[in-house]
C-alpha cells in the first residue's frame, strides 16, 4: 500500500526499516501502551554463546512487548537483526513461544490478546543449533494452536529478510505484511549456493534474489497479504486493519488442494521468470479486503 | 533401500502405498488400533530435481499436509487414529524452483497439519530411523506429541549439515565436533539430542538397516506405549520441557517461561 495524493505524507513519513526491534514494537502498539517483558535488566541471556567465545546480549535479540492495538490487549514479538543476524537461540525463541502460549491461555480465560510477530531473521542460530531448531518447533506449535481463535499477524520489513525455520513461522501466520525491501523464503540464497552450486542460485545476484524472494513478488504471488511502503504509521495501520478482519476462514497453509496443483504445474513447466507466478498464482484472496480496511483506517480522523 | 522405506515396510507391510513416488503412506495398526504411517523416500525420477534423494520438497510437503489433514478429517466423528511420522530426511530441498514456488509455505502446511491433528486429539508420534535435519524435520516429525529415535550411528538430528554448519559458523568440522562435547545442542548424535529432553529413551539393540521380527516387535511395543501415553497427556508440547533432560539442559527455556508468566499481567 502506498499513500497517494499529497507529497507531504511522503516527506513526513518515518522509516520502519531503520528502527531497531524495540522501537518497531513501540511503533506497532497504541501510543503510550508499550511495556517490555523480560527486558535487558532481567538479564536472561544465552547460556551457550559465552562457552563459544561469543558475547551474549541481555535480551538475546528478541523483544517481547505487551500493550494495546486499537485499544485491545496485544503482544508484539520482535526479532532484532542487529544481534547475531536475528538468529533464533534458546532464550529468544523461548520468549516468543512462551508469549504465544500465554496468549492462548488468556484466550481460554476469555481475555484475547492480539499477537504480532516482527520477523527479521535468518532462522536457527547455528551456535545453538538443536535448541534453536527445538524452540522454532515450539513457536510453530504455538502459532498453530493460537491462529484458529486469534489471528496471528506477521510483518517482515527488511533488510535481513525472513528465512530458515522462521520462514515456516511466517508461512503459518494468518496475515503477512511485507515491504518491497523484505525477502521471504526457506533457504537463503547463500545456503542454496552452498548446497547446490552457483549455477542453481547465485547468491551475489541481487536482482535474482528479489525476483524470487522479494516482498513485491511474494505479495503478487499471493503468499503475503499486503505490500506496504517503508512507513511506520502505515505498517501500524495495516496491522490494525488485519486484526479488524478477524480469523481468516481458511489459512493459506491449509490449502493443500490448490497449492498441491500449483507446485506440480511448476515442476512440469518450471517458471523461467518468477514473475510469471504473479499471473498464474495471483494475489491472496484477502489482499483487497485488507487494502480496503487500511484505507478506511487512514481516512478516519485520529 | 532407504531406511524410511525399510521401516514403512517393516511396520505396515502390504498396506504401504505411494500416493506420489516420494511419499509413502499406510493405514496400518499398532496395538489393535489404526495408525497412519508416513515417510518421505528418494525418487530418482522426480521432476523436482533438487528433491530426488529423499529431501522434503514442494511435492512431499504438500502431499504430507494432505494425507495428515485427510486422516484428521475422516476421524472427526470417530476415534482419532494415531499418526506416525517415520523420519529419514536429509533435510529440505535446496533449489531455485523450490524457493520460487514458496517452499517455506509448503513446510508450514505440513507442520501445521501435524500440529492441528495433535491438537484435535490424534496421538502423533515421530520415529527417527535416519537423518532428521533442519527444516525437513520441523515439517515432518517435530510437531509430534512423542518422539522416538533408534540408537544407531546413522541416526542424527541437526539444524544443518555438518560441513555447512562449520562453514557458516566459521569453524572447521573438527572444531565443531570438539565444541559439541561441552555444548550439547551442537552435537549431531541421537544420545546427546535425547539429553536435551526432546525424545523418549532411545530404542537400542535394533538392526536399523535390516530389521528382523524381534526388532520390529521392539519398535512396535515402544510405538504402542508412546501412542497410549500421548492419548492420556496434554495435546501441546509441554511434555518436552517437563522432561528430566530439559531440567538439566534447557534451564533457560524453563526460566524464560516462568519469568514471562510473572511479568505477563
Query: Could you tell me the three cell numbers for A268?
Result: 512440469
Contact B259 A168 (CB under 8 A): no
Contact call for residues B64 and B110 (beta carbons, < 8 A): yes
> CB contact, 8 Å: A132 with chain B?
yes
Nearest to A64 by CA among A46, A83, A91: A91
Contact B108 A259 (CB under 8 A): no
Which of B58, B237, B252 is facing A138, going by the closest CB pair?
B237
Run of H or E including A157: none
Tell how many helices (H) and how many strands (E) occur in chain A: 12, 7
Cβ-count burial B145-165 (b if 16+ within 10 Å, e if not) = bbbbbbbbeebbbbbbbeebb
- Cell 547446490 appears where? A196
Architecture of the B3-235 domain: Alpha-Beta Complex (3.90)
pTM assigned to the model:
0.97
For residue B46, give the chain A residue with the closest CA: A267
What is the pLDDT, as a whole number, of residue B70?
97
What is the pLDDT, as a whole number, of residue A181?
97
Which of A129, A187, A267 is facing B47, going by the closest CB pair?
A267
> CB contact, 8 Å: B178 with chain A?
no
Contact call for residues A178 and A219 (beta carbons, < 8 A): yes
ipTM of predicted assembly, 2 dp? 0.97
Which of A136, A254, A263 is facing B138, going by the closest CB pair?
A136
Burial category of B213 from C-beta neighbours within 10 Å (exposed 0-12, middle 13-18, buried 19 and up): exposed
Helix axis angle, B3-12 to B213-231, nearest 10°: 80
Report chain A residues whose CB lies below 8 A from the CB of B47.
267-268
Contact call for residues B168 and B161 (beta carbons, < 8 A): no
> CB contact, 8 Å: A284 with chain B?
no
Instruction: Average the pLDDT over A71-93 and give the result.
Output: 96
Contact call for residues A124 and A87 (beta carbons, < 8 A): yes
Q: How far is CA A292 from CA A35, A84, A150, B22, B185, in A?
A: 30, 38, 21, 43, 47
* Cβ neighbours, 10 Å, residue A149: 12
What is the pLDDT, as a whole number, of residue A19?
97
Report chain B residues whose CB lies below 8 A from the CB of A167.
104, 107, 135
A299 against B220, higher pLDDT? B220
> Domain spans of chain B?
3-235
Contact call for residues A237 and A177 (beta carbons, < 8 A): no
Q: Which fold has domain A8-299?
A: 2-enoyl-CoA Hydratase; Chain A, domain 1 (3.90.226)
Report chain A residues whose CB lies below 8 A from the CB of B139.
168
Q: How far is CA A195 from the centre of its chain?
A: 26
Run of H or E including B93: none
What is the pLDDT, as a whole number, of residue B3?
98
Question: What's the pLDDT band for A8 if we cut at 50, 70, 90?
Answer: low
Cα of A168 to nearest chain B Cα, Å: 5
Contact B160 A259 (CB under 8 A): no
> CB contact, 8 Å: B48 with chain A?
yes
> Can you tell me the distance from the alpha carbon of A239 to that of A253, in angstroms, rounded to the nearest whole number?
20
What is the DSSP secondary-structure string of B187-249?
Answer: --BHHHHHTTT-SSSPB-S--SSS--HHHHHHHHHHHHHHHHHHHTS-SSSHHHHTSHHHHHH
In chain B, which among 197-256 make CB contacts under 8 A with chain A?
A: 198, 236-237, 240, 250-253, 255-256
pLDDT in tens, A202-251: 999 999 999 999 999 999 999 999 999 999 999 999 999 999 999 999 99
Which of A52, A165, A255 is facing B135, going by the closest CB pair?
A165
- Cell 506405549 appears where? B225
Cα of B262 to nearest chain A Cα, Å: 9
For residue B32, is it left (φ>0), alpha (ψ between -120 and 50) or beta? left
Nearest to A244 by CA among A198, A298, A190, A208: A298
Cβ-count burial A78-92 (b if 16+ within 10 Å, e if not) = bbbbebbebbbbbbb
Which of B164, B179, B184 is facing A195, going by the closest CB pair?
B164
Contact A212 B100 (CB under 8 A): yes
**How confident is chain B (265 residues) per 10-residue block, as mean pLDDT?**
97 95 97 96 97 98 98 94 97 95 98 98 98 96 98 93 82 88 92 96 97 98 98 96 96 98 96
> CB contact, 8 Å: A135 with chain B?
yes
> Domain spans of chain A?
8-299
Contact B62 A95 (CB under 8 A): no
Report chain A residues whose CB lies below 8 A from the CB of B137.
133
What is the pLDDT, as a whole number, of residue A4?
61
Amino acid at each position: 500500500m502506498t499513500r497517494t495524493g499529497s507529497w507531504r505524507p511522503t516527506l513526513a513519513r518515518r522509516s520502519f526499516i531503520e528502527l531497531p526491534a524495540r522501537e518497531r514494537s513501540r511503533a506497532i502498539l497504541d501510543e503510550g501502551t508499550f511495556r517490555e517483558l523480560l527486558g535487558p535488566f532481567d538479564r536472561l541471556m544465552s547460556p551457550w554463546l559465552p562457552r563459544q567465545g561469543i558475547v551474549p546480549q541481555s535480551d538475546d535479540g528478541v523483544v517481547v512487548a505487551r500493550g494495546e492495538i486499537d485499544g485491545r490487549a496485544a503482544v508484539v514479538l520482535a526479532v532484532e537483526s542487529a544481534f547475531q543476524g536475528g538468529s533464533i537461540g534458546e532464550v529468544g525463541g523461548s520468549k516468543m513461544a512462551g508469549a504465544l502460549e500465554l496468549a492462548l491461555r488468556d484466550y481460554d480465560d476469555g481475555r484475547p490478546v492480539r499477537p504480532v510477530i516482527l520477523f527479521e531473521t535468518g532462522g536457527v542460530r547455528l551456535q545453538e543449533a538443536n535448541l534453536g531448531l527445538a524452540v522454532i518447533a515450539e513457536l510453530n506449535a504455538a502459532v498453530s494452536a493460537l491462529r484458529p481463535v486469534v489471528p496471528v499477524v506477521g510483518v517482515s520489513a527488511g533488510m535481513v529478510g525472513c528465512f530458515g525455520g522462521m520462514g515456516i513461522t511466517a508461512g503459518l501466520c494468518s496475515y503477512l505484511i511485507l515491504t518491497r525491501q523484505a525477502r521471504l523464503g526457506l533457504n537463503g540464497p547463500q545456503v542454496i549456493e552452498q548446497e547446490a552450486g552457483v549455477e542453481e542460485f547465485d547468491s551475489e545476484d541481487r536482482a535474482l534474489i528479489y525476483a524470487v524472494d522479494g516482498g513485491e513478488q511474494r505479495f503478487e504471488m499471493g503468499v503475503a497479504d499486503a505490500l506496504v511502503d517503508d512507513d511506520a504509521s502505515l505498517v501500524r495501520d495495516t496491522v490494525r486493519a488485519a486484526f479488524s478482519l478477524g480469523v481468516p476462514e481458511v489459512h493459506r497453509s491449509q490449502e493443500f488442494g490448490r497449492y498441491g496443483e500449483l507446485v506440480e504445474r511448476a515442476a512440469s513447466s518450471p517458471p523461467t521468470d518468477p514473475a510469471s507466478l504473479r499471473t498464474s498464482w495471483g494475489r491472496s484472496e484477502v489482499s483487497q479486503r485488507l487494502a480496503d480496511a487500511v484505507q478506511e483506517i487512514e481516512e478516519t480522523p485520529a | 533401500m532407504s531406511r524410511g522405506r525399510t521401516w514403512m515396510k517393516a511396520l505396515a507391510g502390504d498396506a504401504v502405498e505411494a500416493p506420489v513416488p516420494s511419499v509413502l503412506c499406510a493405514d496400518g495398526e499398532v496395538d489393535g488400533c489404526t495408525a497412519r504411517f508416513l515417510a518421505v523416500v528418494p525418487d530418482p525420477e522426480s521432476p523436482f530435481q533438487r528433491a530426488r534423494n529423499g529431501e522434503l520438497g514442494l511435492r512431499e510437503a504438500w502431499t504430507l499436509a494432505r494425507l495428515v489433514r485427510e486422516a484428521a478429517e475422516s476421524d472427526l466423528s470417530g476415534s482419532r487414529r494415531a499418526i506416525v511420522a517415520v523420519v529419514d530426511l536429509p533435510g529440505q530441498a535446496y533449489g531455485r524452483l523450490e524457493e520460487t514456488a514458496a517452499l517455506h509455505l509448503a513446510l508450514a502446511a505440513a507442520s501445521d497439519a501435524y500440529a492441528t491433528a495433535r491438537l484435535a486429539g490424534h496421538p502423533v508420534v515421530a520415529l527417527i530411523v535416519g537423518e532428521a535435519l533442519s527444516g525437513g524435520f520441523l515439517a515432518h516429525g517435530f510437531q509430534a506429541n512423542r518422539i522416538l529415535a533408534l540408537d544407531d550411528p546413522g541416526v542424527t538430528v541437526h539444524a544443518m549439515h555438518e560441513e555447512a554448519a562449520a562453514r557458516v559458523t566459521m569453524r572447521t568440522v573438527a572444531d565443531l565436533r570438539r565444541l559439541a562435547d561441552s555444548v550439547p545442542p551442537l552435537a549431531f548424535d541421537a544420545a546427546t539430542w535425547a539429553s536435551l529432553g526432546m525424545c523418549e529413551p532411545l530404542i537400542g539393540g535394533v538392526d536399523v538397516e535390516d530389521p528382523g521380527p524381534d526388532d520390529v516387535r521392539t519398535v512396535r511395543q515402544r510405538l504402542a506405549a508412546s501412542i497410549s501415553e500421548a492419548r492420556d497427556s496434554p495435546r501441546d508440547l509441554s511434555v518436552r520441557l517437563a522432561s528430566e533432560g530439559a531440567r538439566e539442559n534447557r534451564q533457560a527455556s524453563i526460566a524464560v517461561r516462568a519469568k514471562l508468566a510473572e511479568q505477563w499481567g
